[in-house]
Structures are given as C-alpha cells and as structure tokens.
Amino acid sequence: AQSVSQHNHHVILSEAASLELGCNYSYGGTVNLFWYVQYPGQHLQLLLKYFSGDPLVKGIKGFEAEFIKSKFSFNLRKPSVQWSDTAEYFCAVNAPGGNTDKLIFGTGTRLQVFP
C-alpha cells in the first residue's frame, strides 16, 4: 500500500529564512506527486505537482520541489519565507492509471513564520 511520510511536524522560522520540508513516499511504480497548502481556516490549494519530466518543479509563490526517484523523495523548498507562508503543508502521492485518482496524504507540516 502507498504511504507518505512527512517527518517535520512543526517548523518555526523567521522571515527570510530558507525552507525545506521533507516528503518521502513508499510505492515502487510510477507516481504523481503533489504539495498542497492550507492557510489558516481555508481549503487546500495546490502549490505544485510532478507528473513526469524535469524533476525540479516550480510552483506558485516561489515554492519549488525536487523529485529524487532513488530516494523516493519530493522535498519542498523556498529560499526565503514570508510571514504569509504560515500554513499547513501537505505532501500527497497518487499512482496513475486505473479508474481512480486516489490521493494519499502525508500527516502535514505546520509552518510558522515570525516577522
């Protein structure tokens, strides 16, 4: 069965600090990978996604993620965080094909950015 691990449960940073959030998945086949963000009191929004091609993916708001197949990882990065990046971040994986689009989510990482 697929699973997703996010080892950083709570990250606290000052503005302008660099960010890296870890995400590892367990599935041996082809996967689609996602990072979603949930701002306080809001719904999930897609930050970026990887289906195929260049393993370095750029998303919205200056976020990027790198897919490293050999490490089963899809870590999220941002060179300089802002207070407005305070949110919950979820990594998710899906195995394409078949008739379903079932997303498996990680447990989330809470990011707090202080001015």
Contacts with another protein, residue ranges (CB under 8 A) = 32, 34, 36, 38, 42-46, 49, 51, 88, 90, 94, 96-97, 99-103, 105, 107-108, 110
Q: Smaller CB distance to another protein: residue 28 or 115?
A: 28
DSSP string, 77-103: EESS--GGG-EEEEEEEE--STT----
Check: CB of residue 114 under 8 Å from CB of residue 14.
yes
Q: Smaller CB distance to another protein: residue 14 or 30?
A: 30
Q: Smaller CB distance to another protein: residue 3 or 80?
A: 3
Question: From the CB of 93, what's the least distance to another protein, in Å?
Answer: 10
Separation of alpha carbons 46 and 8, rounded Å: 19
